[in-house]
Amino acid sequence: MLGNFSYHNPTKLYFGEDSLSFLKDELAHYGSSVLLVYGGGSIKKSGLYDEIIAVLKECGKNVSEVAGVMPNPTVDKLREGVKTARECSADFILAVGGGSVCDYSKAVSVSVHCDDDPWDKYYIRFEEPDCKIVPVGCILTMAGTGSEMNGGAVITNHEQHLKIGHVFGDEVMPKFSILNPRHTMTLPKYQMTAGIYDIMNHICEQYFSGEDDNTSDYISEGLMRSLIHSSRIAVNDPQNYEARSNIMWTATWALNTLVSRGKSTDWMVHMLGQSVGAYTDATHGMTLAAVSLPYYRYIMPYGLKKFARFAKEVWGISAEGRSDEQLANAGLDAMESWMKELGLVMKISELGATEDMIEGIADGTLILTGGYKVLDRDEVVKILKASM
């Protein structure tokens, strides 16, 4: 049965090769002090930085910068960003980069005027902001996280060996996001494929939960089929604009809250992967890839009909002559073959995880209750060992 829900997404999107031309119009809605946030030097090498600075100057903005946002933004980097935003009295934060930069910018936005320690307030106590929020806009350079159209913000605390996400409400979502698929084409293949699996797992986390006959599931199946098709093209031809466009658009719809409507949602692969990332600082999409199959093979008996449906509707496997269990296993085998075809990391040991980390990773794994099976700690350890 489809449950009761509300749906609202306030983020305005501009998609396509001319999407940056709308930045000037959007900036007119905000004050004069802009905090420009970005990662490494790739936006300078590509010329995107110069394009954006030219628009900001044309709009008469006073620009301050936070550079060097890492793939797994840390609480120390968050505090640095808050300090800079306070010093320049930021009216607006413009995030230019992938999901980590967008996540980081949202975390800064709720922390600038916060009297409490943001890590304790948002990531330990999971409280909502009760202060003024600095608005955020995004210019996306990597497809994967969906952070351009949601309220999520993941931060890592290396000292505590914790990597935690907080999904904030509508008021924290980006006011606008600019998506030009060409901006993603300078990414190394490793980052591209990690993003592709991040997209796939976002859909799976919502799909493998709740009732089987839900409109959201039909949408999810279409998104997954589209992603699989385009990923195979992009891996062989990274400059294929149509494939990269479809991947980018699928990433947005995978996590803008639409396909979660009417679903309990799982998110245990993310909890496992994020805890691995807290210890290894590995690329997010690769941590998900390394723990996914051991987790799904473990919970499959508890959601057998959905896994059988996944095999039929997503991978095109015939049910003829197969039991539900055989069909479900064939679907996971097909996903494993696709993952290897993309060159994804399949073991957490390849990411730097060692046997002596397992207990700590298990301790840092948040147990959620929305999936087909609520894990206990011993089961978490078992899955992590199977992921080695």
pLDDT tens per residue across span 79-126:
999 999 999 999 999 999 999 999 999 999 999 999 999 999 999 999
Q: Which residues of the chain have pLDDT under 70?
A: 1-2, 212
Task: Check if the beta carbon of residue 176 is closer than 8 Å to that of residue 11.
Answer: yes
C-alpha closest to that of 312 among 340, 332, 297: 332
Residue 125 β-bridge partners: none
- Written as one letter, the residue type at 376 is D
Q: What is the structure's pLDDT at 6?
A: 85
CB neighbour list of residue 354: distance below 8 Å, 6 or more residues apart: none
**Beta strands at 33-38 and 12-15: parallel, antiparallel or unpaired:** unpaired
Q: What is the CATH topology of the domain spanning 189-386?
A: Dehydroquinate synthase-like, alpha domain (1.20.1090)
Query: What does DSSP assign to residue 255?
Result: S
Cα–Cα distance between 35 and 238 in angstroms, integer? 32
One-character DSSP codes across 157-222: ETTTTEEEEEE--GGGS-SEEEE-GGGGTTS-HHHHHHHHHHHHHHHHHHHSSS-SS-HHHHHHHH
CB neighbour list of residue 369: distance below 8 Å, 6 or more residues apart: none
SS3 category, 334 = helix
Tell me which DSSP letter residue 20 carries: G
3-state secondary structure of 374: coil
Residues across the chain: 388
CATH hierarchy code of domain 12-183: 3.40.50.1970
The set of residues, in sequence order, having a beta carbon less than 8 Å from that of 114 and lying 6+ positions away, is 121, 129, 131
Structure tokens at 69: 């946002």
Do 134 and 85 contact (CB within 8 A), yes or no? yes
Residues ≥6 apart with Cβ < 8 Å to 31: 91, 92
**pLDDT tens digit sequence for 210-262:** 876 789 999 999 999 999 999 999 999 999 999 999 999 999 999 999 999 98
Name the segment(s) of the chain with CATH classification 3.40.50.1970: 12-183
Where does residue 279 rank: exposed (0-12), middle (13-18), buried (19+ CB within 10 A)? buried
Query: Which pLDDT score is estimated for 2?
Result: 66
Pairing between β-strand 162-167 and β-strand 152-157 as defined by DSSP bridges: antiparallel
What's the whole-model pTM score?
0.96
pLDDT score for 288: 98
